[in-house]
Amino acid sequence: MGKLFSKENGEVFKSPLNLNNPVAVQVLGICSALAVTAQLKPAIVMGLSVTVITAFSNVIISLIRKTIPNRIRIIVQLVVVAALVTIVSNILKAYVYDVSVQLSVYVGLIITNCILMGRLEAFAMMNGPWESFLDGIANGLGYAIVLVIVGFVRELLGFGSIFGFQIIPDSWLLDNGGGYLHNGMMTMPAMALILLGCIIWAHRAYNKDKVQ
User: Which residue in 154, 210, 209 sits closest to 187, CA to CA?
Assistant: 154
Q: Which amino acid does the sequence have at 27?
A: V
| pTM score | 0.86
What b/e readout covers 118-154, taking b as 16+ CB neighbours within 10 angstroms?
bbbeebbbebeeebbbbbbbbbbbbbbbbbbbbbbbb
Helix axes 189-206, 129-159, angle to 10 degrees: 120
What is the greatest pairwise CA distance in the chain? Answer: 69
Burial class (CB in 10 A: 0-12, 13-18, 19+), 190: exposed
Give the pairing type, strands 161-162 and 165-166: antiparallel
- According to the model, what pLDDT value does residue 182 have? 64
Dihedral sign (CA 187, 162, 140, 116): negative
Distance CA 134, CA 212 (A): 22
User: Which residue in 139, 141, 140, 163 sits closest to 151, CA to CA?
Assistant: 163
- Supply φ then ψ for residue 38, to 5 degrees: -65, -25
- According to the model, what pLDDT value does residue 62 have? 94
Helix axes 40-64, 73-95, angle to 10 degrees: 140
- Per-residue confidence of the chain (212 residues) as pLDDT tens digits? 456 667 777 888 888 888 888 888 888 888 877 778 888 898 999 999 999 999 999 999 999 999 999 899 999 999 999 999 999 999 999 998 888 888 878 888 888 788 888 899 889 999 999 999 999 999 999 999 999 999 998 888 887 778 877 776 666 665 555 555 666 777 788 888 888 999 999 988 888 877 55
- According to the model, what pLDDT value does residue 208 have? 80
Q: Which amino acid does the sequence have at 43?
A: A
Distance CA 23, CA 132 (A): 19
Distance CA 140, CA 108 (A): 16
